[in-house]
Amino acid sequence: MNTVSFSKNQWLFVFLAGLFITNAVTAELISNKLIEIPFSFDLFGNQFGPFVTIVGILPWPVVFLLTDLLNEFYGYKVVRKLSWITAILIAYCFLIVGLSMDIPAVEIPGSNLSDDASFNKVFGQAQMVIVGSICAFLVSQILDASIFSWIKSKTGERFIWLRSTGSTLISQLIDSYIVLYIGFVLPGTLSFNDFMTIAPTNYVLKIVIAILLTPLIYLGHFIIRRFVLR
């Protein structure tokens, strides 16, 4: 029986793609929770903060990093195909979660397991978040990959920080508003005024995180070129 032998480059892609998909799906499942960012400042006599955003923002920095690394070493077409595959898997998750909500829970006295009400309260909202996220994910990822590829075509191997941050700056503006509007405003969970407060916060946090991750992108480039692609 013949066996398939993977190269280091192929194993690297499997790992990066798997981590990419895992973080994207995890972000959808945990997004039915608002958190407070304990940061505030005064500007022109007005106080800003603390800020509120969705907890699903936590895995997205890893998605930013992986998108840039995949785009850098495997190209725009690979990122675009992987984005479509991830969207399909998120939709699959949507179907499984929906099916699990329709199956009655068996309540065991004294156990800490979820009953139908608590289970559906968490994952019922996640359903709409997933719908919004699929739309936002596809639009933002394809836009991110396109802008990244375009900047790289103009700058070559220089200015990694520019193509990384520049693509995120534009793509996440769209993502932040689409996912919150479809996932929270349309179902009536958030008012439009709250949406206009949380969406900009969500966007700014993503940009700040993307900028802070820039050294890790350079580190990822170094490790891959030094130990994998040599």
pLDDT band of 2, cuts 50, 70, 90: low
Q: Which two tokens stand for residue 139?
A: 């639009």
Q: Which two tokens stand for residue 120?
A: 């559906």
Q: Within the chain, where are the H helices?
A: 8-29, 60-74, 76-102, 116-155, 160-180, 192-212, 214-223
Residue 214 has pLDDT above 70, yes or no: yes
pLDDT in tens, 138-194: 888 888 888 888 888 888 877 777 787 778 777 777 777 877 787 778 777 778 888
**What is residue 224's predicted lDDT score, i.e. its pLDDT?**
83
Ordered structural domains, the chain, with CATH: 8-103+113-228 (1.10.1760)
Peptide bond connecting 50 to the previous residue in cis, omega within 30 degrees of 0: yes
